[in-house]
Amino acid sequence: MLRVSAHRARHRLIDPAPPWKIIKKVPRHCPASGPIPVGDRDIREAPLILLIFSSSPATPTPLTLPAPLLSRTFPSKTHLFPFLPCQPSFWVGFNYLTTYTMASTVGQTITCKAAVAWGAGEPLSVEDIEVLPPRAGEVRIQIHHTGVCHTDAYTLSGKDPEGAFPVVLGHEGAGVVESVGEGVTSVKVGDYVVALYTPECRECKFCKSGKTNLCGKIRATQGKGVMPDGTSRFRARGKDLLHFMGTSTFSQYTVVADISVVAVTPKISTDRSCLLGCGITTGYGAAVVTAKVEEGSNVAVFGAGCVGLSVMQGAVKNKAGMIIAVDVNDGKEAWARKFGATHFVNPTKLSGKTIQEHLIEMTDGGCDYTFDCTGNVGVMRAALEACHKGWGESIVIGVAAAGQEISTRPFQLVTGRVWKGCAFGGIKGRTQLPGLVDDYLNGELKVDEFITHREPLSNINTAFEQMKQGDCVRCVVDMK
């Protein structure tokens, strides 16, 4: 008997379309338990297994399979042909065993769907693109899920000084390694992975410093929207498409540098792990790694979106005292309290005082730590000036529009306040992100709670519209 369960996150549907070649057919009754043999081999070691009844249907009916059958490094896939229609979680028996092989996609150009940004301010176009195979030091990933982030919308708007078109956006994605280029040892075919827009080579000046999570190895080419060798792996309508932040997760298949991907346990589903590729990690890391919030300290978080809520749970992790959420949308109060805020302030409803004055009164002299998650330079100044004299630190997380500058009176800094910023929360993706996955699996890190909306790839423009609404924390796009 073989357990066929479609409801577990590590399973996926298999396309029955490829041409199959019969290499042997062995009538055999399935064992009651244990691995199903193919001659002298375990089913998990066979190049490809096709299980059918003696009266097999003319048209294949794909079912999902347990992850162990899909995580092998062999260049093939596995199908089941049931005698009767099967529903998830049924026990299905088979009395014929047939072994097939199929052509591999390894080393081949793949045609798949992607959301292409052809120009600034234009809706994304979901269409077929070609994804070239990975070259040396590169990894091709089948993206299963991706989040939609304000950074994607910022670039699409045309306000990003590094933004260029046409481009495949997306930087918060997770999936499975389809193939690897020459010399890649950090991940292997079949690994469940998260794409990293902040790479980690462990060799450059930045990585070796021990002072930052930034990496300089591929920064120049990543900023230009190309792979480290200066070329693209995407083509559509006869043109090369640019990459985005080294990840381009709005494509069903993407190619990344091997220093821009991290393997994670398949125990976390890709619709969750994708969110660790940006928003959650950025906010949580800002509190835990960059600021190192101390027990009993007073914290103010400006902006109660995905990043701000993640800062709050980071502050909770480090046992902060007061955790004050600041947002102009009263609807965010319930969300903020769900993630650990002890207080909520709407600065538009303060009469006769500024938000910094109000926070200084609330905290008896000022906050120990403040975090800007808005990207508004005026808010950044208010966050600094709400800090306690002598030791208060303000962490800038939000990305301001091109050309914007921050300012304050020098006296604010002379008297001991500190302004600092961080990318990806100061987290080293390849080294530290698997630990966040463990925290999630152990119930110590909220991830599920961020997902308020879901859309298929075909509705990705709807996801962008939802992101602008006050009730959307994160929309996850199903790329399959």
Q: What is the CATH number of the domain that holds 210?
A: 3.90.180.10
The pLDDT of residue 31 is: 39
Residue 294 φ/ψ, nearest 5 degrees:
-100, 155
Catalytic residue among 149, 306, 373, 387: 149
List pLDDT tens digits, range 432-459: 999 999 999 999 999 999 999 999 999 9
Determine contact, residues 158/120, Cβ cutoff 8 Å.
yes
Considering the domain boundaries, does residue 237 fall inside one? yes
Higher-confidence residue of 54 and 243: namely: 243
Among 50, 70, 104, identify where a domain stops: 104
Q: Could you give the 3-state DSSP secondary structure of residue 236? A: strand
Query: Do the beta carbons of residue 447 and residue 433 sit within 8 Å?
Result: no
Q: Write down the pLDDT at residue 104.
A: 82
Please identify which of the residues 202, 204, 454, 465 carries the catalytic annotation. 204
Of the candidates 172, 171, 169, the residue with the CA atom closest to the CA atom of residue 125: 169
* Mean pLDDT (whole number) for 389-416: 95
Question: 114 with 251, same domain?
Answer: yes
What is the tens place of the pLDDT at every residue in 126-148?
999 999 999 999 999 999 999 99
Question: What pLDDT does residue 38 have?
Answer: 37
Q: Are residues 161 and 270 in the same domain?
A: yes
Q: pLDDT tier at 30 (50, 70, 90 boundaries)? A: very low
Catalytic site residue 474?
Answer: yes
User: Both 63 and 100 in a single domain?
Assistant: yes
Q: Answer yes or no: is 430 within a domain.
A: no
Is 223 within a domain? yes
Both 127 and 263 in a single domain? yes
For residues 173 and 166, is the Cβ–Cβ distance under 8 A? no
- Coil vs helix vs strand at 285: helix
Going by C-beta distance under 8 Å and a sequence separation of 6 or more, which residues neighbour residue 92?
Answer: 1, 2, 4, 63, 80, 82, 86
pLDDT digits (tens, 9 = 90+) for 297-328: 999 999 999 999 999 999 999 999 999 999 99
Domain end among 423, 438, 458: 423
Q: Residue 331 above 60 pLDDT?
A: yes
Do residues 77 and 216 both lie within one domain?
Answer: no
Q: pLDDT grade, residue 49 (50/70/90)?
A: very low
- Note the pLDDT of residue 161: 80
Catalytic pick among 86, 112, 201, 472: 201
From the list 79, 140, 417, 474, the catalytic residue is 474
Q: Which SS3 state, helix, strand or coil, does residue 424 take?
A: helix
Q: pLDDT-based confidence at 401, cuts 50/70/90?
A: confident
Least reliable range by pLDDT among 73-77, 277-281, 381-385 = 73-77
> Do 98 and 167 share a domain, yes or no?
no
Question: How many whole angstroms separate alpha carbon 321 and alpha carbon 382?
Answer: 21
Structure tokens at 373: 């998650």
pLDDT at 76 over 70: no
What local confidence, expressed as pLDDT, does residue 160 receive?
A: 85
Q: Of the listed 30, 215, 274, 387, which one is catalytic?
A: 215
Q: What was the pLDDT predicted at 469? A: 87
- Would residue 204 show up in a list of annotated catalytic residues for this protein? yes
Cβ–Cβ < 8 Å for 52, 95: no
- Tell whether 252 and 366 lie within a shared domain: no
| CA separation, residue 108 to residues 175, 179, 180, 186, 270 (Å) | 19, 10, 12, 22, 25
pLDDT tier, 11 (very low <50, low <70, confident <90, very high otherwise): very low
Is pLDDT above 60 for 65?
A: no
- Look up 215 and say whether it is catalytic: yes
Per-residue pLDDT of 81-100, as tens digits, reads: 333 333 333 233 333 333 33
Percentage of the chain lying above the pLDDT 70 cut: 79
Residue-level pLDDT at 342: 99
Q: Do the domain assignments include residue 442?
A: no
Tell me: do 82 and 172 sit in the same domain. no
Instruction: Clarify whether residues 395 and 339 are in a common domain.
Output: yes
Q: Are residues 392 and 470 in the same domain?
A: no
| Catalytic pick among 145, 150, 272, 358 | 150
Among 145, 200, 207, 417, the active-site one is 207
Q: Is the torsion defined by CA of 200, 206, 212, 216 positive or negative?
A: negative
Q: Would you state the pLDDT for residue 32? A: 37
pLDDT at position 148 is 98
Q: How many domains does the chain have?
A: 3
Q: Is residue 440 part of a domain?
A: no
Kindly state whether residues 255 and 114 are assigned to the same domain: yes
Catalytic residue among 30, 99, 140, 278: 278
Between CA 349 and CA 356, with CA 351 as vertex, the angle to 5 degrees is 80
Quick check: is 219 catalytic? yes
Contacts with 81 (C-beta within 8 Å, 6 or more apart), sequence order: 50, 51, 52, 53, 56, 57, 60, 61
Out of 66-70, 381-385, 419-423, which region has the weakest mean confidence (pLDDT)?
66-70
Known catalytic membership, residue 149 = yes
Please tell me the predicted confidence (pLDDT) of residue 366: 99
H or E element that contains 117: strand 110-117
Distance CA 27, CA 25 (A): 7
Q: Identify the H or E element spanning 431.
A: helix 429-441
Helical packing angle, 355-362 and 377-385, nearest 10°: 30
Residue 428 lies in a domain: no
Task: Determine whether 373 is an active site residue.
Answer: no
Q: CB–CB of 291/400 below 8 Å?
A: no
Q: Is the pLDDT of residue 12 over 50?
A: no
Residue 4's pLDDT band (cuts 50, 70, 90): very low
- pLDDT at residue 279 above 50? yes
- Domain CATH number, residue 347: 3.40.50.720
* 62/368 Cα distance (integer angstroms): 57
Same domain, 291 and 252: no
35 part of a folded domain: yes
- Domain end position, chosen among 104, 139, 163: 104
Among candidate residues 28, 219, 235, 343, the one labeled active-site is 219
For residue 160, being part of any structural domain is answered with yes
Would you say the C-alpha torsion 73, 146, 259, 103 has a positive or negative sign? positive
Query: From the candidates 99, 138, 172, 381, which is the catalytic residue?
Result: 172
Domain range for residue 368?
Answer: 280-423
Tell me the pLDDT tens digit for each residue of 190-210: 999 999 999 999 999 999 999
pLDDT higher than threshold 80 for residue 175:
yes
